[in-house]
A and B are shown apart, each in its own frame.
Chain A
Amino acid sequence: MSARSRRVERRPAVAVAVTVVFFAWLYLPIAAVVLFSFNSVKSLSTFRGFSTRWYADFVHDADLVTSLVASIGIAAVSAVGALVLGTMLALGLSRIRSRTGRAVGAVTLLPLVTPEIVTGVAALLLFTGVGLKLSLVTVTLAEITFSIAYVTVIVRGRLAAMSTEVEEAARDLGCTPWQALRLVTLPTLVPALLGAGLLVFALVFDDFVLAFFTTGVSPQPLPVRIYSSIRFGVSPAINAVGTVMLVLSALVMVLALIVPRLWGRKSSSLDLITGA
């Protein structure tokens, strides 16, 4: 909080109006999905009364439930895998000063600027090329590869803001580099790691494009299942599944923003996302 006042002018009326309309536009379709998921009739334009029949349909649809469980599993395994690999990469890159190190650093950021469809196509070709059968395993491998860069960016941001003196002091006191890393650096990183892990979970859980290209026939991740049913037309049952997905990922995102803040200082993944 700076002492200097940010309020340097009267509120610009046009900008405020645009912002209000923006928020309405942002939430209108989401609100509609949630509202019509409780509709008692099969209509997406008229709300006739409250009912949970579409949720009952969802719970009794074994395929959809399997897909939901599969998506949660993929997201959890990917979050852990990307966290381990991304943190190793961030630690290595932040300390190594050679040219090779910098080249590796640049290459690992490539997935962030590659359109997802390209990553998806490439992963599909790779897996079929080496004879791997497409399944939830191939989806998870592709998701981990895609998510490593997010973890690396977040952890490197945290490392850059961290003083290396404490780690040096630990080494002067007789710690091996590994001990210094494990006992000093990693505990300091815990908030950033939790934030990054939750962020990756949310991203992977919702991811459609990569999953679409790398999944087998059955069972499929939930977004892929939803996509194939949408193509056969809209139905209130999809609204119920969509509501469940929205609530789950919104919860995880809120956790990703809040959890790092529980450690006190200003270090939530929100700051890392906004670059502030």
Chain B
Amino acid sequence: MTALDPTTAQLPAQPKGGTPRSGQHTRLWAALLALPTGWMVAFFLSSMVIVVLLSFGRTQADGQPVFSTRLDNYAQLWDPLYLRLFLRSVSYAVATTAICAVLAYPVAYVVALHGGRRKNLLIAAIVVPFFASYLIRMYAWSALLSDDGLVNSLIVRLHLGGGVQFLNTPYAVIGGLVYGYVVFMILPVYAALERMDTSLIEAGKDLYHGPWRTFWSVTLPATRAGLFGGVLLVFLPALGDFVSAQLLGGPKTFMIGNLIQQQFLEGQNWPLGSAMTVAMMIGLTVIMVGYLRATATRSREAS
């Protein structure tokens, strides 16, 4: 945006008749960029290239992965067992995203519009635990929900029933994912609500009267950008997660992440694991591009 600002754009952008100064600072910026760019190429881009290359590789008899040019690993992915697992992962991630959206709106709404002076404190109270150890929080749920955990012992003590099996169910895994990532939905929705002109809500109330209709026809469209952003921020990590299914679920609820993790750290089939990783990235890219296109069109129609 600074480029369009008339007060700042003129100075660095225009070479002043070839004074040594402009050349000097272009060199400075290029020098500043060189090291981090080199680092990202060496440690990030090259690692991604290796994953793609190894996905065409094979495992030698002695267990060593070697580069090759076969499509075997990709052919293996069409196994119905794997396909079912992919489908399960996507459905868990979609359910997680939907629950996060339904949960995030009332919370963000109350904090942004009725938080008053404690607004920042409330947001901090949401953010701090979310950045504190994901693993410990998942462990906490597994301890609470286990067969001899606090929740079940309360159910038995209050004579509500004979105990419920929570762990090893899809509900526990999706619940864990929601618990892990809901903050990524709350923050963008909160930011959108903060920026929103609240007199619109008043106007909506005058026109439509009911709070629900006002929400659907005024508040939701006005905060659409925040919701769209939140959907991506929750969906991406939820789809790749393996900790929730590992600690709160079991083999029946495993997701892509568990499968990939097994290939690398248990099954030791690195080329197959690489193919799964690449397939997941391709799937995610397709979903993301489709999603971004759809939301871009809707935003344009709205304005």
Q: Tell me whether A218 is interfacial, beta carbon within 8 Å.
A: no
Residues of chain A with a CB closer than 8 A to B114's CB: 6-7, 11, 16
The 0/1 profile, CB within 8 Å of A marked 1, for residues 67-96 of chain B is: 000000000000000000000000000000
Q: Give A163 to B260 CA distance when docked, in angstroms.
A: 47
**A275 with B188: CB separation less than 8 A:** yes
**B261 with A117: CB separation less than 8 A:** yes
Residues of chain A with a CB closer than 8 A to B221's CB: none
Nearest to A22 among chain B residues (CB) is B107
Q: Give A25 to B12 CA distance when docked, in angstroms.
A: 52
Q: Tell me whether A9 is interfacial, beta carbon within 8 Å.
A: yes
From A89, A101, A165, B8 is in contact (CB under 8 Å) with A165
Q: Which residues of B contact A (CB under 8 A)?
A: 1-3, 7-8, 11-13, 21, 24-26, 28-30, 32-33, 35-37, 39-40, 43-48, 50-51, 54, 103, 105-107, 109-114, 116, 120, 123-129, 131-137, 139-144, 146, 148-150, 152-153, 179, 187-188, 190-191, 194-195, 198-199, 201-202, 205, 211, 232, 236-237, 239-243, 247, 257, 260-261, 264-265, 270, 273-274, 277, 280-281, 284, 288
Q: Give A231 to B116 CA distance when docked, in angstroms.
A: 44
Q: Tell me whether A73 is interfacial, beta carbon within 8 Å.
A: no
Q: Give A71 to B141 CA distance when docked, in angstroms.
A: 23
Q: Which among A9, A14, A121 has the highest number of chain B CB atoms within 10 Å?
A: A121
* Closest Cβ–Cβ distance, residue B205 to chain A (whole Å): 7
**A123 with B47: CB separation less than 8 A:** yes
**A246 with B148: CB separation less than 8 A:** no
**A121 with B273: CB separation less than 8 A:** yes
* Contact segment of A27-35, A50-58, A59-67: A27-35
Q: Give A184 to B88 CA distance when docked, in angstroms.
A: 54
Nearest to B28 among chain A residues (CB) is A177
Nearest to B2 among chain A residues (CB) is A160
Q: Which residues of A contact B (CB under 8 A)?
A: 4, 6-9, 11-12, 14-16, 18-19, 22-23, 25-30, 32-33, 36, 44-46, 85-86, 88-89, 91-97, 101, 104, 107-108, 110-111, 113-119, 121-126, 129, 141-142, 144-145, 148, 160, 163-165, 168, 171, 176-178, 181, 199, 202-203, 206, 208-209, 212-213, 223, 226-227, 230, 234, 238-239, 242, 245-246, 249-250, 253-254, 257, 270, 273-276
**B33 with A104: CB separation less than 8 A:** yes
A245-B136, A249-B132, A253-B128 given; A8·B211 CB < 8 A: no
**B149 with A122: CB separation less than 8 A:** no
A89-B36, A117-B242, A164-B11 given; A206·B135 CB < 8 A: yes
**A208 with B243: CB separation less than 8 A:** yes
From A111, A121, A253, B260 is in contact (CB under 8 Å) with A121
**A12 with B135: CB separation less than 8 A:** no
* Closest Cβ–Cβ distance, residue B171 to chain A (whole Å): 14
Nearest to B215 among chain A residues (CB) is A12
Q: Give A118 to B120 CA distance when docked, in angstroms.
A: 34
* Closest Cβ–Cβ distance, residue B41 to chain A (whole Å): 8
Residues of chain A with a CB closer than 8 A to B132's CB: 30, 202, 206, 245-246, 249-250, 253
**B277 with A121: CB separation less than 8 A:** yes
Nearest to A181 among chain B residues (CB) is B28
Residues of chain B with a CB closer than 8 A to A144's CB: 39, 43
* Closest Cβ–Cβ distance, residue A29 to chain B (whole Å): 3
Residues of chain B with a CB closer than 8 A to A14's CB: 106
A104-B37, A118-B240, A121-B260 given; A45·B50 CB < 8 A: no
**B124 with A257: CB separation less than 8 A:** yes
Q: Which among A107, A117, A270 has the highest number of chain B CB atoms within 10 Å?
A: A117
From A101, A141, A206, B133 is in contact (CB under 8 Å) with A206
Residues of chain A with a CB closer than 8 A to B112's CB: 6
Q: Give A83 to B209 CA distance when docked, in angstroms.
A: 51
